[in-house]
Amino acid sequence: MSIAAIGVPGRSFVRPSALPGFGITFGFAITYLSLIVLIPLAALVWRASGLGFGGIWRVATDPRVVAALDTSFGTSALAALTNAFFGAIVAWVLTRYRFPGRRLLDATVDLPFALPTAVAGIALATLYAPTGWIGALFARWDIKLAYTPTGIFIALVFIGLPFVVRTVQPVLQDLDREIEEASATLGASRWQTVTRVVLPPLVPAILTGVGLAFARAVGEYGSVIFIAGNMPFRSEIAPLLIVTRLEDFDYAGASAIAVIMLAISFVILLAINLLQAFLQRRLGHA
């Protein structure tokens, strides 16, 4: 058992740590991550490497693959940014106000986590189809929601909202309301209080939620295929294209698309994490 030293004026003593030493915990963490994450990803890259760099490049530049990647990453980014705004508002309402049904609304936020993705996709397609309750309202003006990229966007907003809400809520709960009151007392307008007092501490949490929502949206399959329409070059997502390649027994091609998605996602998430760390450092020095 590891021990942590505690210094007290005039004497010193040690107490046992709650967890085993660094070597044991670090080894367990690396082993667990290797089995769950690193080894499967390495196997994916190894399978795609059978095509060689030239083969992977041909897959990456295939017009249908490019269109599917553009649809997946473009709609995922747009949905994540949308959730950043509305998710922060939902978190604010749940944290700062007390009203009848608040606990029920708070529990409803987690439904996309618990609901099977296929069930969510069927429900969304039923609502937003031209004959659905919501889709019929837009159909009067020849606006089609389901079976278009707009349908993909709706599904990705649905599954990504809880990530932003649940990352922003704890920060809002810890945010001292006296700071807002002091800002108002000193003559700041509501807009100045929001942008200069409330928003800066929330930005790192919002970025975390955006990153999680984006990562979930990029790989989403079940809730999208029922509402997307799945038309090549228009509403076909990259995960569906991977499944199509697997059904054609093109395992190397499917792996290549997955590796391309993995590389792009890693770069984007790394950029978000670096931006988050930069903002946290600035807040720490402020």
Q: What angle do CA 145, 150, 156 make, to 5 degrees?
A: 120
Is residue 196 assigned to a domain?
Answer: yes
Can you give the pLDDT at residue 22? 74
Band of pLDDT at residue 6, cut at 50, 70 and 90: very low
Can you give the pLDDT at residue 93? 93
Is residue 180 assigned to a domain?
Answer: yes
Can you give the pLDDT at residue 115? 87
Mean pLDDT of 188-201: 82
Q: Does 5 score more than 60 pLDDT?
A: no
Is residue 47 assigned to a domain?
Answer: no
Q: Which domain holds residue 186?
A: 62-285
Can you give the pLDDT at residue 161? 94
Is residue 41 assigned to a domain?
Answer: no
Element (H, E) at 11: strand 11-16
Mean pLDDT of 38-55: 89
Q: In degrees to the nearest 10, what's the CA dihedral of 212, 213, 215, 221?
A: 140
Is residue 52 assigned to a domain?
Answer: no
Is residue 79 assigned to a domain?
Answer: yes
| pLDDT tens digits for range 138-169 | 988 988 999 999 999 999 999 999 999 999 99
Band of pLDDT at residue 285, cut at 50, 70 and 90: low
Q: Which two structure tokens, joined as six digits, stand for 199? A: 């928003």
Mean pLDDT of 170-179: 84
| pLDDT tens digits for range 57-108 | 999 999 999 999 999 999 999 999 999 999 999 999 999 889 899 999 999 9
Q: What angle do CA 149, 218, 204 make, to 5 degrees?
A: 115
Mean pLDDT of 184-212: 85
Is residue 160 assigned to a domain?
Answer: yes
How many domains are contained in the chain? 1
The single-letter DSSP state of residue 16 is E
Cross-strand bridge partners of residue 16 = 3
Can you give the pLDDT at residue 53? 87
Is residue 150 assigned to a domain?
Answer: yes
| pLDDT tens digits for range 244-282 | 999 999 999 999 999 999 999 999 989 988 888 887 777
Q: What is the pTM of this model?
A: 0.84
Longest CA span, the chain: 82
Q: What angle do CA 233, 235, 239 make, to 5 degrees?
A: 95
Band of pLDDT at residue 2, cut at 50, 70 and 90: very low
- Tell me the average pLDDT of the chain: 87
Distance, CA of 278 to CA of 41 (rounded, Å): 29
Can you give the pLDDT at residue 254? 92
Instruction: Report the CATH number that the domain containing residue 135 is assigned in CATH.
Output: 1.10.3720.10
